[in-house]
Amino acid sequence: MKKIAVSAGLIAIGAAGLQTAQAAVSDVLSPKAWSVSATLRGFYDDNYAIGTTSKGSGGVELSPTIQVNIPLRQTDLGFRYNYGIYYYQDRQDLGVTPIDQTHQFEIWLDHKFNARWHLNASDTFAVGQEPELLQTSSSQPFRVKGDNISNHASFTLETQWNSDFNTSFHYANSTVNYDNHGAVVVPGGTASPGFFPITTPGLHGSGFQSVAPSLAGTLDRVDQTFGLNFEWKLSQETSVSLGYNFGLVNYTGGEPIAVFNYTDTALQTSSLVYNSDSRDSMSHTAYVGLKKQITPNISGNISAGASYTDSYNDPLSQSTYFSPYGDLSLSYTYTPGSYVQLGISHSINATDVVQPSLTTGKITQHQQSSVVYMDFNHKITPDLIGTIIGRFQNSQYEGGQNNNQNDQSYGLGVNLHYTINQHFSTEVGYNYDDLISGLNGRGYERNRVYLGLTANY
């Protein structure tokens, strides 16, 4: 079962974004078939709109949660729903809607057919405004108004063929849908320098044009991954693996996202209009892996390989990319309930940046991102737990006007959680976020503090 981490003004799920500690929600299955809880927090956010011009606000958050667990003989089935309502005093003072609302549904199934066959499936559906809730912080690191939707589903079937060899087939599906849509192409725009001989029929209009893309146009998509992993156990402490993933990304916004204006060799002025599906792609990733129990309380896991990505639907020029693929994690449990985890990963992700190059006409297809993270959890007393989570990400744009430009983001979360008794707990915490971008007007800095009380039954 996944942990849901809640902080002032946001809900973060999984490892896609910076998680702040919330020990009230345990990774351990509840002994009861059902449970209900509610968290009340006061917070101050010095950049609640997440923009280059900071605007601060105090506020209050209320987050009730209901969870149902159905443990059967060979099956664990569960469901969880969390509702969040957030009040911002500054927005009230400005005469605009002071309330944000979020919804999060999660369902999971874990089933053992027999000693050899094991199935795990889960689905998380979220509606909200914060990038961490939508698991899109790499793609679009800003708060977005409206009922924005993300859904993340996964399916894994593991087979233990003998004591030393097993395989796993996995499938993942991520869907993103933004409320911000409605971009149209209009007359006007700036021409590229020189002459550009584009001859592809049916894609170009006469005269110069321009478009201001919507987030739905640039980021609405269905991202699917099919994978197969082979694992050999060399000893009680060591195993090696070999794997392959096939990925499909289909952009579903159905809107214009960019225009390349050019003068052809016949001195005719024309425009090439890119649509959402111009960034559709397929990818192949191969990797080798190693798992090692170094000591009874230190374990490591590394996967390394390469990815080949084909942006096959680009109307100007089919683009292919080779990039490294990697995932490294190291975990050290030094006392019961206290641990340190370090990790590094490298992969490709979507981006809302798309502007075409003025010289080649090519658009930005994606980013390559490297992430370094640290999770430190310390049990100070039996009732008091401290957590520090740090994250650094470097993302480089591939193609387009901003080719090879970088975004660098830093995140830090500090949390103290105190259990009063079996029904009540309290916490205090601080979050820091900083985005340094090579693109004008994209960077920001954000500080948040919060104090909360949780009741559960």
299-319: pLDDT as tens digits = 999 999 999 999 999 988 788
161 exposed, middle or buried (CB, 10 Å; 0-12, 13-18, 19+)? exposed
Helix (H) or strand (E) holding 435: strand 424-437
For 88, phi then psi, to 5°, come to -115, 115
As a whole number of angstroms, the distance between CA 263 and CA 193 comes to 8
Residue with tokens 């830093």: 410
Q: 322 burial class (0-12, 13-18, 19+ CB within 10 angstroms)?
A: exposed
- In the chain, what are the domains? 4-173+222-254+281-456 (2.40.160)
- 63, 257, 367, 426 from 422: Cα distances, Å: 19, 53, 46, 12
The DSSP code sequence of 97-137 is --EEEEEEEEEEEEEESSSSEEEEEEEEEEEESSTTTTT-T
CA distance 303 to 326: 5
CA 118 to chain CA centroid, Å, is 27
What pLDDT is attached to residue 127?
95
Confidence (pLDDT) at 208: 81
Question: Would you state the pLDDT for residue 197?
Answer: 67
Nearest Cα to 329, choosing from 338, 346, 341? Answer: 341
pLDDT at 270: 82
Q: What are phi and psi of 267, to 5 degrees?
A: 65, 25
Could you identify the residue written with the tokens 């975990």?
331
Token digits for 295? 């000591």
How far from each other are the two terminal CA atoms of the chain, in whole angstroms? 19
pLDDT at 130: 86
Two structure tokens written together for 189: 């725009």
Output the pLDDT for position 14: 31
Report the pLDDT value the prediction gives residue 318, as an integer from 0 to 100: 80
Q: Which residue has the tokens 């889960």?
A: 122
CA distances from 34 to 29, 67, 79 (A): 10, 6, 9
CA 3 to CA 67: how far, in whole Å?
12
d(CA 94, CA 430): 26
Q: Are 376 and 415 in contact (CB under 8 A)?
A: no
- In angstroms, the CA 453 to CA 385 distance is 15
Q: Which pLDDT score, from 0 to 100, does residue 136 have?
A: 65
Residues in Cβ contact with 177 at an 8 Å cutoff, skipping those fewer than 6 apart: 148, 149, 150, 216, 220, 252
Residues 149, 156 contacting (CB under 8 angstroms): no
What is the mean pLDDT for each group of 10 consecutive residues in the chain (457 residues)?
34 32 38 89 94 89 96 92 96 93 96 95 94 73 88 96 96 94 84 67 68 93 97 96 97 94 77 93 97 95 96 87 94 95 94 90 93 96 96 94 94 97 96 93 93 96
- Specify the pLDDT at position 12: 35
